[in-house]
Structure 1
Amino acid sequence: MAALTGYLETMSALGGDARPLLKEQGLAPDLLINPEQLIPARSAIRLLERSAEVTGCITFGLRMAENRTLANLGATSLLIAHQPTLRKSLETLREFRTRINSTLVLQFEEIGDEVILREDFYLSRPEPWRQSSDLALGVLTKLCAAAVGESWKPLAVCFTHDAPPLAEQQIYARVFGCRPQFDSEFNGVVLSARDLDRPNTKADDQLAHHARQLLEQVMDPVERTRAEEVEQLIKLLLPSGRASVQICAASMGMTVRTMQRALDAEGESFTSLLNRARMQLATQYLANPRMRITDIADMLGYSSIGAFSRWHSQVFGVPPRMIRVGGRKAKLKPASGCSDSDTSSP
């Protein structure tokens, strides 16, 4: 569940011990390394409230939101990021909300020149959710800024809870860039109606189509081999930097050892699948002239262009810039003859 991304780091920064609180809610620390892992919503909501209580930090949820990026939404982040407008991004977020947080419902209504984005938790029994609400609105605001432009700020952000002490209000300005309104009738973000259809300059319809295909393949109940399942997960998780063997195994409900044994039985390995996925995506991304090589390196899990170039030269026989500048097609070398030693950890 992406809702707990950054939880351990926030607890550590506040000098708190997360272990007893996780145990209290029946959660294992290992569950938090994988944003695709489903966690009971009630447990997550209670965990954040108890953490705020134990640390004495009433802005605990906002502190988690402050360090979030769009990639923390998990496998859907690539699809959301490359929608042509904020309206389309929000519609996509609602379409795939069950993969992110099935209890958090997003609604938006246009009233004249303004739009209200409301977020509410729907639980069978009411729970205090101040921290979860602050976190959700912080993440929603960052999503809007990613689609409209990093300099974008909402007209207002409204909270049904009361105002925190003055000493804790500075973080609201940092996260939202506007004065918050407390004791409101709803939890939500208010923005100009023009912002909904303002073009997203970073949008790429090819990448959006690619991301949707991958998501639909993963969600498709058609029976696949373990190797095929792992390869699809790698392609989904690479752009957000989480295509590690640990996260892929957790996403499939397995231990690393169990997944490796399953791949061994099919004559595959995680390293070979990772390299194969990188080869396919590198070819596809480099064929897209709108994508910078720096961005491609990052999306394939490399910490620098140099590391990406060395890997590309080993696999395809030429550096990636030669593909772009000369437009020549490099002959693929067999994957078994390639070394992945220059890659950074995903």
Structure 2
Amino acid sequence: MRPLVRTAALTGYVELSRSLGIDPQALMKRVGLDTAALAVQDRWISGTAAVQLLELSAAASRHEDFGLLLAELRRFSNLGPISLVVREEPDVRSALGMLLRHEHMYNELLHTRLSEGDGLATLKVDLLLGETMPSRQATELVVAAFHRILRGFLSPRWQPLSVWFRHSAPADPATHRRLFGSSVEFGREYDAIVLYADELDAPNAMADPLLRTYARQYFDAIAVPRDTTVADRVRELIEVLLPTGRCSVEQIARSLGVDRRTVHRQLEASGETFSSLLNTTRTQLAEQMVANPRRSLTEISDLLGFSSLSAFSRWFGGQFGCSARQWRTRAERALPVDEG
């Protein structure tokens, strides 16, 4: 299976695209994504599709610095639940170490290593795409994101000794100079941030020692193992694709970078089928949505990927043994009375 990334990797994409005069929806559609998928940061999408999207966007906007501009819209919280723990680590070394050990929790494309020698520390970044494709924008986005994280740990004015990129210099390196200073270099042997090793021992500027124990306990409860199952990935993608009206096994296979037979075979090995996962996911979402009186049944039908309200009504009756309106009425009656 091809690696996935959290939709938070594209935080700010729609806003940046529109500010540069390009249509984000059209470009996302070209790579099999939809802007609706970006509404929830903890959903997973195809990593290669995200990489392709950034390259298309840079070309369409004529901004070679597209990835850097997108990185400027990132916040530490975009890392997801792990950010709550990392920010409470006592020093930069332990914070960065945790971030690297658990990078699969926010981006399966990433392979980041920290090496030290001769008083220097080098944070090397690789994108494991599984195939040859242009990835300049995604690489610069990741390097700039780590640069922002290190600034958060150390100081808003901190700058590394140097920032290296394997690709050639852009026609106009002004944004690179603005973000990284004059030490940015192109045509190097790898993509990396170089800093003094003793800076890793500096206290983490974001940390609150009183919160560390609680943060660690929370992380132990939500930490995701590296061996996430195929069924888990398919379930995540179903939730993302349902509102787009394009939730099919073919689209799931495309997002995972395999053919539909591979999806069927691997799901069967885990005792699941695409249909069973689709139905289970719809059932769970329907329970939440129908209980919310602010959502119309027509809206819920669309969000669950049904072609019509009547199709949704028939499915709901078969699943729950009553109509959606009856289920909503029962749910409202079950709510506790507010005596305040």
- Taking structure 1 as the reference length, the TM-score comes to 0.63
Q: Within 5 Å, which residues of 2 pair with 1:277-316?
A: none
Q: 2:218 aligns with which of 205, 214, 220?
A: 214
**Among residues 162, 171, 177, which one is paired with 1:173 in the alignment?**
177
Match for residue 153 of structure 2? 147
**Residues 258 and 6 of structure 1, relative CA distance in 2, 3 Å threshold:** farther
Residue correspondences, number: 237
**Separation in 2 of the partners of 1:129 and 1:90?**
24
Larger radius of gyration: 2
2:327 is aligned to none
| Superposition pairs of residues 223-262 of structure 1, within 5 angstroms | 258-261=287-290
Change in CA separation of 1:211 and 1:51 when aligned onto 2, cut-off 3 Å: same
Q: Which residue number in structure 2 is paired with residue 41 of structure 1?
A: 47
Q: Tell me the equivalent position of 2:331.
A: none
Aligned to 2:311: none
Does 2:103 align with 1:97?
Answer: yes
Query: In 2, distance between residues paired with 1:78 and 1:114?
Result: 28
Cα gap change, 1:9 to 1:220, in 2 (>3 Å)? closer
Q: Is the 8 A contact 1:156 1:191 kept in 2?
A: yes
Aligned mates of 2:337, 2:144 — CA distance in 1: 43
Structure 1 residue aligned with 2:141: 135
Is the 2:122–2:193 Cα contact (8 Å) retained in structure 1? yes
1:190–1:4 Cα change, 3 Å: same
Q: Which runs of 4+ in 1 moved over 3 A?
A: 218-221, 252-258, 260-264, 334-338
What TM-score results when the alignment is normalised by the length of structure 2?
Answer: 0.64
Q: 1:208 to 1:158 in 2, by over 3 A?
A: same
Whole-Å separation in 2 of the counterparts to 1:258 and 1:69: 33
* Ranges in structure 2 where 5+ consecutive residues have no aligned partner: 1-5, 226-279, 294-335
Q: Which has the higher contact order (CA 8 A, sep 6+)?
A: 2
Aligned to 1:13: 19
Q: Using the TM superposition, name which of 121-130 and 173-182 deviates more.
A: 173-182
Verify the 8 A CA contact 2:54 2:137 in the aligned structure 1.
yes
1:78 is aligned to 2:84? yes
Aligned to 1:118, which of 109, 113, 124? Answer: 124
Contact 2:100–2:112 (8 Å) recurs in 1: yes
CA distance in 1 between counterparts of 2:72 and 2:99 reads: 20
Correspondence for 1:296: none
Segments of structure 1 that go 5 or more residues without pairing to the other structure are 222-251, 265-333, 339-346
Deviations 1:19-66 (A, max 9, x none): 111111111211112221111111111111111111111111000011
The superposition leaves residues 177-233 of structure 1 with CA deviations (integer Å, 9 ceiling, x where unpaired) of 343101111101000111111112431234233233333323479xxxxxxxxxxxx
Aligned partners of 2:95 and 2:204 also within 8 Å: no
Tell me the amino acid that sits aligned with residue 101 of structure 2: E
Contact kept, 8 Å, 1:66 with 1:175, in 2: the verdict is no
Identity %: 32
Distance 1:109 1:29, change over 3 A: same
CA deviation digits over 1:72-95, x for unaligned, max 9? 212211211121111111111122
State the alpha-carbon separation in 2 of the partners of residues 335 and 119 from structure 1.
55
What is the CA–CA distance in structure 2 between the aligned matches of 1:199 and 1:253, rounded to whole Å? 44
Say which is worse superposed, 69-78 or 110-119, in terms of deviation: 69-78
1:204 aligns to 2:208 (yes or no): yes
Give the letter aligned to residue 15 of structure 2.
E
